[in-house]
Structure 1
Amino acid sequence: MSKSKFEASLETGVHHRLQSLAGTWQGITKTWFEPNVLADESEMTGRIKSILGGRFLLHEYQGSLNGKPFEGIAIYGFDIANNNFQIAWIDSFHMGTGTMLSNGTPTENGFSVLGQYSVPEYPNPWNWRTVAELQDADTLVITAYNISPEGQEDKATETIYKRVG
């Protein structure tokens, strides 16, 4: 009996690589609100676990921003049928009460996705690009870039995680 596309992906494909992100992580998150002006640098803890039989990963994280606690959740997945990486992201600071949905492509050691959000004081939506790279078995870097309606892209956050479990 032949394997399904998902079973094959879980064994040696994108889903297999995705599973390598699972674990307990600790690190530092840097945040910028203006280009090249570091606004905050603080500790971050995260737990990434496989859910729904390896179809998705659930990333739960906690940290602080300017001395105030915040937390977030992201669900990472790869849609085999459409060859598309997908993320649903919520947190208690950046997203407020909204959910950002992002789509993109797998990379050799992670993924790169693009989402969109609105800011009431600006008539046009902004983009948010998230790149996750497993630099080695115990180092995960998640970097997000804010992209203005005019196309100006600037680093917004960077978390450098070390595996602790």
Structure 2
Amino acid sequence: MKTTLMLTAVVLLAACNNPASDKTGATDTAKTTVAATPAGDPEKEWKPVDSATAMKAWMEYATPGEPHKAMAKGAGNWEGETTMWMAPGAPPMTSKSSCVSKMAMGGRYDVTTFSGSFMGQPFEGMAIMGYDNSKKAYISTWIDNMGTGMMHMEGKADASGKVITMTGKMTDPATGRECDVKEINTFIDDDHHTMEMYGPDPATGKQYKNMEIKFTRKK
């Protein structure tokens, strides 16, 4: 029902914003829709798919695979040793943290909640990581109590499957600009992994390593 209402709203909005529909009715509306499709661009042209092919694709898209099984190995309680650098060459700041990872949605996503401290203030965050079967890529989102936005990242594993590098963008509240960020997760064994974050140097805008967390599974 909700999907039907959303589709109805989209159709009504398109009709209201289509000048031809005010005078000529449904026939001209259809012509306008066809004309709006760029001709000769295979990436943008609509390609019909039969129902059997569509169903097979959706089943493959929805079925957890080996990358999801690998993520599931990270489920559990972890302790973290965090090192941060506010600028290149700046003295490091260290702190302790902890996190809990759980697989959700039938083993499709790794949901991790973090708790610790940042510059003497309580810190909490949450990451959701998955593997998109269609994109053949890892995807993640991050939120925390030090902001009001979301960070989205995407990337792939190396040949060993033990190093996942993801890139994305985040908003710099000081300038309002979007800046490039990078995250590298290295899985040493089932009980140890590290996460490195890279962001822009406040002075030059060039990327530098601004955080590293060494995780150890709680026994």
Which TM-score band applies after superposition, normalised by the shorter structure? Answer: 0.7 to 0.9
1:27 paired to 2:89: no
8 Å CA contact retained: 2:102, 2:112: yes
1:88 paired to 2:148: no
Q: Which structure carries more helix by proportion? A: 2
Aligned twin of 1:129: 182
What is the TM-score with the length of structure 1 in the denominator? Answer: 0.85
1:39 deviates by 4.3
Mapped to 2, the partners of 1:7 and 1:131 lie a distance apart of: 26
Cα RMSD after superposing both structures: 2.2
Aligned twin of 1:103: 154
Question: Which one of the candidate residues 187, 194, 211 is aligned to 1:157?
Answer: 211
8 Å CA contact retained: 1:17, 1:109: no
Mapped to 2, the partners of 1:90 and 1:71 lie a distance apart of: 9
Over alpha carbons, which structure has the higher Rg? 2
Mapped to 2, the partners of 1:51 and 1:110 lie a distance apart of: 22
Q: Which amino acid aligns with 1:63?
A: G
Deviation string for 1:122-145 (max 9, x for gaps)?
364211111112111111111111
- Name structure 1 gaps, 5 residues minimum: none
Count of residues in Structure 1 that have an aligned counterpart in Structure 2:
158
Aligned twin of 2:125: 72
1:16 deviates by 1.4
Mapped to 2, the partners of 1:74 and 1:65 lie a distance apart of: 17
Q: Which structure carries more strand by proportion? A: 1
- Name structure 2 gaps, 5 residues minimum: 1-58
1:48 deviates by 0.8
Question: Per the alignment, in what secondary structure is the counterpart of residue 106 of structure 2?
Answer: helix
Identity of aligned residues (%): 27
